[in-house]
Amino acid sequence: MSGTQAKASPSDIRISNITAAFEQLFPATQMSRANIGKLIGLSRFTTSEVTGEMVDNRILRELGPDNREGRGKRSQVLAIDTDFWRIVSVDLSNPMLVKGALADLSGRIVDRTELPVDHGCSVDDVIDLCRQLISSTPLPILGIGIAVTGIVEPNGVVRKSVHLGWSELPLKTEVWKTPPECP
């Protein structure tokens, strides 16, 4: 079998490293920077670069030096910073009720709301619910996730949702055409 594999770009590798570090701490683990690096197979330098960027962006927070015994400089203990970002989640599994939640980075729901829709769910209903949730917090929004029944492309196009009566709908583009205002 012959084939060519695309070489990973530096940004792909960076994203992969950030994801791996986050997964070691999700949902509520505390771990030293050194242990994170060991578990995901990164050098000390790369671990410091990756976790440092995450601390700067308020994805992680430093809790202080580890309390291990022995000689040498103590590694910083890290945890997910649940106090800064929020994530909007929308559930479109019921075509007559749009459900949404606002969560912190550990996945803890801090607010939820529902929007009954007698006429069936529309993109405007989704945007209205997102705006409602975003306006309920003074904190910045890291992202919006929308669960849709049916076939959805990675680029956010709903190819077919029989449940919602949607076909070839560029949901991501429509939601961000007039982005819900973030604080």
Residues 6+ apart with CB under 8 A from 40: 17, 20, 21, 24, 47
DSSP per residue, 138-167: SSPEEEEEEE-SSEE-TTSEEEEETTTTEE
pLDDT reported for residue 4: 61
**What are the tens digits of pLDDT across the range 141-156?**
999 999 999 999 999 9
Task: Note the pTM of the prediction, 2 decimals.
Answer: 0.81
Bridge-partner residues for 145, per DSSP? 89
User: In the prediction, which pLDDT does 66 show?
Assistant: 86
CATH architecture of 86-177: 2-Layer Sandwich (3.30)
DSSP 71: S
Whole-number pLDDT of residue 68: 75
pLDDT of residue 178: 61
Q: What pLDDT does 125 receive? A: 93
Q: What is residue 70's predicted lDDT score, i.e. its pLDDT?
A: 75
Write down the domain spans for the chain: 12-80, 86-177
Predicted local distance difference test score (pLDDT) of residue 180:
57
In this predicted structure, what is the pLDDT of residue 7?
79
Residue 115 pairs with which residues in a beta bridge? 98
Per the CB < 8 A criterion, the answer to whether 52 and 40 are in contact is no
Fill in the DSSP letter of residue 95. Answer: T
Is 86-177 in the same CATH topology as 12-80? Answer: no
CATH 1.10.10.10 for the 12-80 domain, yes or no: yes
Q: Is 59 helix (H, G, I), strand (E, B) or coil?
A: coil
Sites in the chain below the pLDDT cut of 50 = 1
